[in-house]
Structure 1
Amino acid sequence: MGINNQSDAEANLQIGPTDQGMVRIFVESHGAEIPMDFEPDEALEIAEEIRAAAMMVKGSR
């Protein structure tokens, strides 16, 4: 599956700080749990990438 392939898959997404000073993105879908921990600087880079992608989509409408 690529980034441009549509899917009917559903997932729960949680994002928050951990007690270890990391930022966790936690994805749960159909019983599978994927915790992904990032250093704060990495999390800010991810946030910037998400924002840039949203702005690209918003600008193309």
Structure 2
Amino acid sequence: MLIACEVAGDVLAGVEEALEHPDLPPSVRDELAETISTRRIEVNISEPETSVQVE
């Protein structure tokens, strides 16, 4: 289980970094954030930072 948590943390950090990329149009960023967000994962976008939180 610990390995899965470490991998999930890496993936979520990568999601934050990708959503903050300057070449990503805001409409695409918002759509991706909405798609990635689930009951347990919340993606919040506020210029210029993005945060991904796991409940």
TM-score normalized by the length of structure 2: 0.32
Report the structure, 1 or 2, having the larger helix content: 2
With the length of structure 1 as denominator, give the TM-score of the two structures.
Answer: 0.30
State the structure with bigger RCO (CA 8 A, min sep 6), 1 or 2: 2
